[in-house]
Amino acid sequence: MSLGELLVEEAGTITGLRVLPATAEGANYEICLSTEGMLRGTKITTNWTYLQLVRTDGSIYGTGDGVCTTECGQTLHLKGSGSAAGPDENGSIPMRVINHYHTNSEKFADLNGVALVGEYDVKPDGTTAMKLWHWK
């Protein structure tokens, strides 16, 4: 098992947050996110909606769905999940994530069935940065 090439770099902003009912595990949120970046040299825009659970021990788990659109009009559907021990000393949340892409696009069909793993960091001001590598 090893990490391959860096495939995705994105930066974005949280565009919405909704508080959901808490459970015994902790506080629940629905988060909307819009990003722009590059997928293998192609400009992309991605919109996500994900659920985030802030557990009673301070750890964080999230899972969600996204739609990625390329500059050439291709669409990729995304499933992702991630976790973090909690906010760091600066108040940022350093998530470690796994994303799965699915598309009918011939250009990106090789991403179907591939796991991309990486870093998704959320700053206190709601800005985000993500890098994903091919997990071989």
Residue-level pLDDT at 9 = 98
What are the residues whose beta carbons fall under 8 Å from the beta carbon of 24, sequence distance 6 or more?
none
Looking up residue 97, the CATH number of its domain turns out to be 2.40.160.20
Phi then psi dihedrals of residue 80, to 5 deg? -150, 160
Residue-level pLDDT at 135 = 87
Residues of the chain with pLDDT under 70: 1
Q: What is the pTM of this model?
A: 0.93
Give the CA angle between residues 107, 113, 118 to the nearest 5°.
90
Amino acid identity of 109?
A
Q: What's the domain range around 98? A: 3-135
Domain count, the chain: 1
